[in-house]
A and B are shown apart, each in its own frame.
Chain A
Amino acid sequence: MKLTLHIWRQRDRGDRGRFVTYRLDDVSPHMSFLEMLDVLNEQLVGRGEEPVAFDHDCREGICGACGVVINGLPHGGFPGTTTCQLHMRHFQDGDEITVEPWRSKAFPVIKDLVVDRSALDRIAQAGGFISVRTGSAPEANSVPGPKEAADLAMDAAECIGCGACVAACPNGAAMLFTAAKISHLGLLPQGQPERERRARNMVSAMQREGFGACTNYRECEAACPKRISINFIARMNRDFLKASLLHGRERGGKRQAR
């Protein structure tokens, strides 16, 4: 099929950037979106032009590297699909496709469609860990936990950190990402010791990075390629509220003078 592509081109962080239009004549419907971009790049290199830079790694929907906004929706807006898993059969001959990078103050464009998502890493570093003793691996069944909580933790842990939630949110908020990371550990027995600190520190880290605030539009949930629910945002809010109310107050273990 024939396609007209409007692609964001930007040399580096300092460049102002612009849309450039390309025509592709021979796109197979069996290609993935990234393979279609590969074909474009081969032609560009053949003509001696600079290829379009885009992020990718696994190309099987698990690494979270490949996000771009396609016709106004992150990853193209097909349920549970990353850009690398999106196939050209979803488009029609003659379609015009606009491809843009994630737009967020916290995600500066490095080049073309590639953005710097290390703001998400810094949020994770603020609390997305558990403290474990080193040494030989413990017996797997020695820490009992309810199956429902484990399942829910797995749903949250599916987050691949692609940033589609931020890209989709009209406010540029990173609530769904942060909520998924907080909940994933907060649901497991191993995550309990740091649970309250984690909620406070990660919510504060999100603030420092310049993301927007939630107005409960639910666009993030619709855009998430792992279909992560905004119920986790409610859970994060709950943990954050509890942690803020009880912070530093838990010192009633000894009889105190009245």
Chain B
Amino acid sequence: MQAALSFYGTAVGKKMVVAVTGLFLFLFLLIHMLGNLQLFAGPEALNHYAAFLHSKPVLVWGFRVLVAGAFALHILATLQLFLQNLGARPVPYRVKRTVEIDYSSRTMIWSGPLVLLFLLYHLLHLTVGSVHPDFSAGDVYRNVVTAFSLWPVAAVYIGANLLLGFHLKHGLWSWFQTLGLAHPRYNRWRNCFAWLLALLLATGNIAMPVAVLAGWVD
């Protein structure tokens, strides 16, 4: 306990908690996406998959608890680090230029909370159904198609997943660096890896609202 506290008491320790929980959340999202892509296989496939999940409450609730825990730790640690950073430069520079920072890395602290807001909406929308205009429990396929037929809803899903892609483009690269996985021989692949997986997740998720809007799925 003492050891865990002194580990978490340092910026490096907190950052490692962010990295491990971030990777876990990413892996969850990947599985979630692969499952949902059965939208393209038709109503039976998707509804059958949903029914299968609901017949395994231990599995579903186990995942929910783990994901919620990972979210809580991820947010707690990033918030603490953010506050630490705010305090580290009480007098700002009058002129400050940067050389390496890109859009993704600069906006982590905004893309994260926005994704969280979206997630809450998404849960009320397609899990609970309370903000869905025409929700019928069990018919996941229909719920998704009617939801995305409204272009503002589809736009929110597309926008949120673009943000998530940016979050992951920096996050997945960061993941290696934070956990000390660096070697000149492999370093250039870390960025490719981050780009590829961020793109994979974002396009996979965005494909669904786009397909409904375009009328490829109905």
Contact = CB atoms under 8 A, between A and B. Distances in A.
Interface of A: 6, 19, 69, 71-73, 77, 98, 100, 103-106, 170-173, 175, 200, 203-204, 206-207, 210-219, 221-223, 230-231, 233-241, 244, 247-248
Given A222-B100, A236-B12, A248 B3 contact: yes
B88 A206 contact: no
Most B CB within 10 A of own CB, among A207, A216, A241: A216
Given A171-B85, A171-B89, A203-B12, 5 more contacts: A214-B12, A216-B173, A231-B184, A231-B187, A233-B177
Contacts of A230: 177, 182
Given A213-B84, A240-B12, A104 B3 contact: no
B116 interface: no
Nearest to A244: B7
23 contacts: A69-B96, A104-B88, A105-B89, A171-B89, A173-B88, A203-B10, A204-B10, A207-B9, A212-B88, A215-B81, A216-B173, A216-B177, A219-B98, A221-B100, A222-B99, A231-B184, A237-B178, A237-B180, A239-B180, A240-B12, A244-B3, A244-B13, A247-B3
Contacts of A105: 87-90
Contacts of B91: 103
A98 B87 contact: no
B181 interface: yes
B88 A219 contact: no
Interface in B1-17: 3, 6-7, 9-16
Interface of B: 3, 6-7, 9-16, 81, 84-85, 87-101, 105-106, 108, 170, 173-174, 176-184, 187
Contacts of A223: 99
B108 to A, nearest CB: 7
Query: Is the contact region of chain A dominated by helix, strand, or loop, or is it mixed?
Result: mixed
A138 B187 CA distance: 38
A72 B10 contact: no
A206 B11 contact: yes
A172 B85 contact: yes
Nearest to A232: B182
Given A207-B10, A215-B105, A216-B105, A237 B179 contact: yes
A80 B100 CA distance: 16
A219 to B, nearest CB: 6
Nearest 5 CB-CB pairs, A to B?
A238-B180, A234-B182, A172-B88, A212-B88, A213-B11
A98 B95 CA distance: 7
A217 B105 contact: yes
Contacts of B13: 240, 244
B127 to A, nearest CB: 32
A216 B95 contact: no
Contact of B94 (A100, A206, A215): A100
A217 B98 contact: yes
A53 to B, nearest CB: 17
Given A71-B95, A203-B10, A217 B3 contact: no
Contacts of B7: 244
A73 B100 CA distance: 12
A104 B86 CA distance: 11
Given A211-B88, A237-B16, A170 B95 contact: no
Contacts of B15: 213-214, 237
Contact of A69 (B84, B93, B170, B179): B93
Nearest to B108: A215
B4 to A, nearest CB: 9
Given A173-B11, A213-B15, A234-B181, A100 B100 contact: no
Contacts of B3: 244, 247-248
